[in-house]
Structure 1
Amino acid sequence: MGAYRFQFRPVLSVVSVIALAILIALGSWQVRRLDWKQGLIAQVEARVNADPIPFAEAMRRAEAGENMEYTPVTISGRIDRDRAARVFGTYDGAPGVYLFSPVAGPSGEDVFVNEGFAPQTETGAVADLPDDEETTVTGLFRYAEQPAPPASWFQPEGKSADGLWFVRDPAMFAAETGASAAPYYIDRFAVDGRDWPIGGTTRLDFNNRHLEYALTWFGLAATLIGVWIAFSLKKRDEDSNLKSRVD
């Protein structure tokens, strides 16, 4: 270090401090996201294998502020497939539709049931289902889909020309027929003996790369400090040469 001396550079230092604060903030945010994601995964793993509770109870608890996402629930009633909504989606890489059929809820409003996925090649199987069916539905309690930015910037709204929805929103499904619906729906489990639509398609594997992202931001912060130090050190022989030229 004897061959170098530290030279404070105001502009470089100010810019570096601002950039360092941003990088540390991003890293800290990813650490918080990591804690949240690990808690979510543990909660879902413990919840999905529990015994189902009545949908009415789950809805009451959700409206009281409790997070009921992925809770197993059950509801009995008449499935009205004549008013079913078809939502575009994919499953195992194949494009197709998810069939959302309403059931009369505990307060008379519609409760939409995601009966499962049918690929484009099997849409006839969906059409062959009876319009009305008295049954007991068991599945996972879900909240209406609300895409967040940046995904929402590219998410189509409403329906396509061929009648497919793009967002899982029970309120929109019901409003089309002049009805009202609870802001929740049920992801139905697979039904024995039925090929299409196939139930039990809820995605339960969550991407968790927040630790990787946090280390990346903190690594960039450490690199920035190193760059700031490197640009703030000046060789002493440069001072000597400058002095000689002045003399």
Structure 2
Amino acid sequence: MTHQVDMAGARRRRPVKTIATITLILASLAILLALGTWQMERLYWKEGLLADIAERRSADPVPLADIERLAASGGDMEYRRVALSGTFDHTKERHFFATFQGQTGFYVYTPLILSDGRAILVNRGFIPYEMKEVSTRTAGEVAGEQRLTGYARSRLAQKPSSIVPDNDIAKNIFFWKDLDVMASSIGLDPAKTLPFFVDVDDLVQ
């Protein structure tokens, strides 16, 4: 009798287990479908972003004033080509730690002093770690007024991640591009410093 009762109980529990299994499978499929949809949407977004960047980088440069107006209005100015002119102050370089083509070094940010006395930090390019000192690369310290084109780059509102080291102001090594600190550490007037960067594309002269 006990055996018969146990068998009957097992038969009653079997549909419950089957329903639970089916529910689990359906839930798993729903999660996988959702992840697949998210990944596809992210892929389309990334492809669209890359296409947009490529289009902007191939466009004719616009005057600096146009980028200023765009920045002031909160518009998207990232990677828009810009034409500007001024004189580099090489005594106030800021060095952003990075790697380029497998080599460790720095991107050199130099204030470009505009004709109206304002300044903008310009990324002039990458140098190997052993060339951090200006004395090792004097040939690249162009003098006089320069006309150049480049890409507008937005400032960062905060450190991008908690794992990023703090900037070492004393050693002039920046691990993230804190525009305010980069500018203040070399004595630039905040009221006369443009609130974005420019990555140099070409020196016109």
Q: Would you call these one fold, judging by a TM-score over 0.5?
A: yes
In structure 2, the gaps of 5 or more residues are: 1-13
CA distance in 1, matches of 2:36, 2:72: 34
User: Per-residue deviation at 1:61?
Assistant: 1.4
Aligned to 1:115: 124
Aligned to 1:186: 198
CA distance in 2, matches of 1:174, 1:93: 29
1:226-241 equivalences in 2 (<5 Å) = none
| Larger relative contact order (Cα-Cα within 8 Å, sequence gap ≥ 6) | 1
Percent identity, aligned pairs only? 30
Provide closer, same or farther for how the CA distance between residues 133 and 21 of structure 1 changes in structure 2, counting only shifts above 3 A.
farther
* Amino acid corresponding to residue 174 of structure 2 in structure 1: W
Residues 112 and 186, structure 1, Cα contact 8 Å, conserved in 2: yes
Residues 169 and 183, structure 1, Cα contact 8 Å, conserved in 2: no
Residues 146 and 203, structure 2, Cα contact 8 Å, conserved in 1: no
* Amino acid corresponding to residue 153 of structure 1 in structure 2: S
TM-score (norm 2): 0.74
> RMSD of aligned C-alpha atoms?
3.2
Bigger drift between 65-74 and 183-192 goes to: 183-192
* Amino acid corresponding to residue 150 of structure 2 in structure 1: G
Provide closer, same or farther for how the CA distance between residues 178 and 113 of structure 1 changes in structure 2, counting only shifts above 3 A.
closer
User: Per-residue deviation at 1:114?
Assistant: 0.1
**Cα distance per residue 1:98-151 (max 9 Å; x no partner):** 110112469865311001111123334446655964212211111124688xx7
User: Per-residue deviation at 1:46?
Assistant: 1.6
CA distance in 2, matches of 1:110, 1:120: 26
User: Per-residue deviation at 1:25?
Assistant: 2.7
* Amino acid corresponding to residue 186 of structure 1 in structure 2: V
User: Per-residue deviation at 1:182?
Assistant: 3.0
* Amino acid corresponding to residue 121 of structure 1 in structure 2: E
CA distance in 1, matches of 2:114, 2:24: 58
Provide closer, same or farther for how the CA distance between residues 45 and 130 of structure 1 changes in structure 2, counting only shifts above 3 A.
closer
Provide closer, same or farther for how the CA distance between residues 91 and 147 of structure 1 changes in structure 2, counting only shifts above 3 A.
farther
**Cα distance per residue 1:187-234 (max 9 Å; x no partner):** 1024489xxxxxxxxxxxxxxxxxxxxxxxxxxxxxxxxxxxxxxxxx
The yes-or-no answer on 1:140 pairing with 2:135 is no
Q: 1:52 aligns with which of 61, 65, 90?
A: 61
CA distance in 2, matches of 1:69, 1:106: 24
Q: Secondary structure at the match of 1:159?
A: coil
User: Per-residue deviation at 1:66?
Assistant: 2.6
Alignment length (residue pairs): 187
User: Per-residue deviation at 1:169?
Assistant: 2.8
**Cα distance per residue 1:23-67 (max 9 Å; x no partner):** 333222212211211111211222211111112211211332332
CA distance in 1, matches of 2:75, 2:175: 27
Provide closer, same or farther for how the CA distance between residues 162 and 135 of structure 1 changes in structure 2, counting only shifts above 3 A.
same
Residues 92 and 111, structure 2, Cα contact 8 Å, conserved in 1: yes
Residues 170 and 182, structure 1, Cα contact 8 Å, conserved in 2: no
CA distance in 1, matches of 2:165, 2:138: 25
